[in-house]
């Protein structure tokens, strides 16, 4: 099991963990008990070799992660709330569509508008505008994350995010998985999706410099949207490499340091009960993987 890869995400009152062959979610119910579900899972890129091509596989992986994420969040939400408050399919579809539109408007359209319109004193050269666009994105995202982190429910979600990171790191360090042991580790992890966002911002600035300003506001914006899959694919490869060599190379740790610090906005220190939930999810995957390895 030396090549076992573990990743995860925070969900409502719980944590989802994903290993090479399984995905497990553990949730703290209102009565204090921990509810778990675990399913066999093989990623799309592992099932289809044609999709497992560098720079292309990242696109498929990200779409897959988004779909899985919504499914696990929906399940965890329904476990954490009362029976008569279950989330319906229509509500899920609405949330997905609204999230996509809101995300594009806030983190793509608004920064581009500010970079090209609000500051007319700056000469609209490609380099200048794209640097401003990237800066506005980081400022808007940082402000947004800080504001929502003040909400009690989001704060708890960020605590479970921290619990996920601590548990995975504890496992990777080959230390016995207990809440007290996991609590000793940092809430920052090199393979976190928050760091991925920073890489997307940086690479988008480089790619967008190739788009002529003369195309106009809306055509330029459309090309930027169309380039997102390619930018995401490149960023995905960087995250894979940084996760692989983070503990082996000091140079890699220096390069990814700025992105890692951004995780301080999306993680909070968890309590022992939250770590217990994260470890329950992680152990569910590990137990299944061990049983599969014995049968092989």
pLDDT tens string, the chain, 296 residues long: the values are 546 788 899 999 999 999 989 999 999 998 899 999 999 988 888 888 888 888 888 888 888 888 888 888 888 888 877 655 666 667 777 877 888 899 899 999 999 999 888 755 555 566 788 888 888 998 999 999 999 999 999 999 999 999 999 999 999 999 999 999 999 999 999 888 888 888 888 888 889 888 887 888 899 999 999 999 999 999 988 888 887 888 788 888 888 888 888 899 999 999 999 999 999 999 999 999 999 888 86
Edge-to-edge strand list for the sheet holding 34-40? 7-11, 14-18, 22-28, 34-40
pLDDT of residue 202: 85
pTM: 0.88
DSSP annotation of 22 reads E
* 235-269 pLDDT, tens digit each: 988 888 887 888 788 888 888 888 888 899 999 99
- Provide the 10 A C-beta neighbour count for residue 205: 19
pLDDT of residue 290: 92
Q: What is the rounded distance in angstroms from the CA atom of residue 9 to the CA atom of residue 160? A: 8
- Provide the 10 A C-beta neighbour count for residue 71: 16
């Amino acid at each position: 099991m030396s090549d076992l890869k573990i990743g995860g995400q925070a969900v409502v009152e719980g944590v989802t963990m994903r290993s090479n062959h399984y995905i497990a979610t553990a949730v703290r119910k209102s009565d204090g008990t921990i509810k778990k579900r675990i399913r066999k899972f093989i990623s799309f890129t592992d099932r289809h070799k044609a999709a497992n091509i560098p720079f292309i596989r990242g696109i498929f992986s990200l779409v897959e992660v988004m779909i899985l994420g919504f499914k696990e969040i929906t399940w965890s939400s329904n476990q954490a709330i009362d029976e008569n408050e279950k989330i319906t399919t229509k509500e899920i579809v609405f949330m997905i569509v609204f999230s996509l539109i809101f995300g594009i408007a806030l983190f793509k359209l608004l920064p581009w508008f500010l970079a090209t319109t609000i500051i007319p004193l700056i000469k609209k050269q490609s380099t200048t505008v794209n640097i401003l666009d990237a800066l506005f994105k980081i400022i808007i995202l940082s402000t947004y994350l800080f504001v929502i982190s003040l909400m009690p429910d989001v704060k708890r979600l960020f605590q479970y995010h921290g619990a996920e990171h601590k548990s995975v790191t504890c496992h990777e360090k080959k230390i016995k998985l207990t809440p007290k042991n996991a609590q000793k580790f940092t809430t920052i992890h090199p393979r976190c999706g928050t760091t991925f966002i920073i890489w997307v911002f940086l690479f988008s600035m480089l790619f967008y410099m190739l788009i002529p300003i003369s195309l106009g506001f809306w055509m330029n914006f459309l090309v930027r949207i169309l380039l997102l899959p390619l930018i995401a694919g490149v960023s995905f490869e960087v995250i894979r490499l940084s996760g692989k060599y983070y503990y082996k190379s000091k140079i890699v740790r220096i390069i990814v340091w700025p992105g890692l610090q951004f995780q301080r906005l999306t993680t909070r220190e968890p309590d022992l009960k939250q770590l217990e939930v994260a470890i329950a999810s992680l152990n569910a995957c590990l137990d299944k993987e061990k049983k599969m390895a014995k049968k092989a």
